[in-house]
Amino acid sequence: MDLSVIIPVYNEAESLPELIDWIVRVCSAENISSEIICIDDGSSDHSWETIEDLAKKYKNVKGLCFRRNYGKAAALHTGFRESSGEVVITMDSDLQDSPDEIPELYRMIRDEDYDMVSGWKKKRHDPFIKRCTSKMYNRTARRSSGIKLHDFNCGLKAYNAEVIKSIEVYGEMHRYIPILAKEAGFMNIGEKIVKHYPRKYGSSKYGIDRFVKGYLDLLTISFISRFGKRPMHLFGLLGSIMFFIGMIMAAYLGIRKLIYVHNNLRAPLITDSPYFYIALTVMIIGSILFLTGFLGELINRNSSERNRYLIKEKINI
């Protein structure tokens, strides 16, 4: 199988027939053997019935239906697991992504040896607030990850099959798949400018909460990629620094007390100084952070992922 096209679906019954027909035409014209996997993410309209009808019409259309809405990441993860193509392309089901981009994305993976190619919706047909917020997140993601992509959250992406079999997409992490791929050792990540069409049917399924979730997910993925297997390096260091600062403050108060006593002066009570309580608080927080890192190391030691390393090639093994 040359190509697997994975399409998460949530209440897009109107757009699906046109989208699938478009994909089939493009792949047939380019002589690309393909499968189209539609993941119904608990739709409340007739999306699943539409997928069933399309599967009867086109032999290469496959479908999976969730019992309830789990989110786009769950749909992609399930599609990745079920795919069998050498190249995998993901795209949204709302007709804002163009199937005409498929041949070039496929070629970039097959012929230019990219591990992953992300679409860049340079000209977007989205509300002003959504465009501005997306630019802010993409700028932050570029700086924190070192991956020079303009649009991390574009639904139109192409992957070498080895990439999607080596990563796990969960929660809301579909926005940052390029970071997951880089963390797994796939460094050859490219970008292609793609067309973005205005929504033809229905309305956007994303609300204001996606902006908050996107920010929190970026913090999560940044932490996991840097300190997921060595939490003590972060929490232990911060805890030690804070405990040391608290010790210095406490030592200062103690030395000042001794100087007063040595010179037969009336020494103020250490507990009368606000620095005593600040020092005590800082030392307690430092101890908690250190213990957090220690517990993280104990948990990581028992994790099944602690010695999971991806091997690129073997010789005589």
User: What digits encode the pLDDT tens for the residues 45-86?
Assistant: 999 999 999 999 999 999 999 999 888 889 999 999 999 999
Instruction: Please tell me the predicted confidence (pLDDT) of residue 160.
Output: 95
Which pLDDT value is given to residue 313?
A: 57
- Collapsed DSSP state (helix, strand, coil) of residue 107: helix
Residue 236: both structure tokens together: 């232990």
- For position 315, what pLDDT does the model report? 55
Q: What is the pLDDT of residue 207?
A: 56
In this predicted structure, what is the pLDDT of residue 280? 92
Give pLDDT, residue 129. Answer: 67
Q: How many residues does the chain have?
A: 317
Domain chopping of the chain, boundaries:
3-227, 232-301
Per-residue pLDDT, 153: 82
pTM recorded for the entire structure: 0.75
All residue ranges of the chain with pLDDT < 50 are 307, 309
Gap between the Cα atoms of 74 and 161, Å rounded: 18
pLDDT in the model for residue 260: 86
Q: Please provide the DSSP assignment of 182-247 as one string.
A: HHTT---EEEEE--BPPP-SS-----THHHHHHHHHHHHHHHHHHHTT-THHHHHHHHHHHHHHHH
Backbone angles phi, psi at 63, to 5 degrees: -145, 145
Cα→Cα distances 69→11, 37, 95, 208, Å: 10, 17, 21, 18
CA distance 252 to 232: 29
Determine the pLDDT at residue 16: 95
CATH code 3.40.50.1980 for 3-227 = no
The pLDDT, as a whole number, for residue 312 is: 53
Rounded to whole angstroms, how far apart are CA atoms 106 and 89?
A: 8
Beta-strand runs (E) in the chain: 3-9, 34-40, 61-65, 87-90, 116-120, 157-160, 189-193
The pair of structure tokens assigned to 303 is 């994790």
Q: How far is CA 266 from CA 124, 126, 251, 260, 274, in A?
A: 73, 71, 19, 7, 19
Q: Tell me the Ramachandran region of residue 39: left when phi exceeds 0, alpha when psi lies from -120 to 50, beta otherwise.
A: beta
| Model pLDDT for residues 254-265, shown as the tens digit of each residue | 898 888 888 888
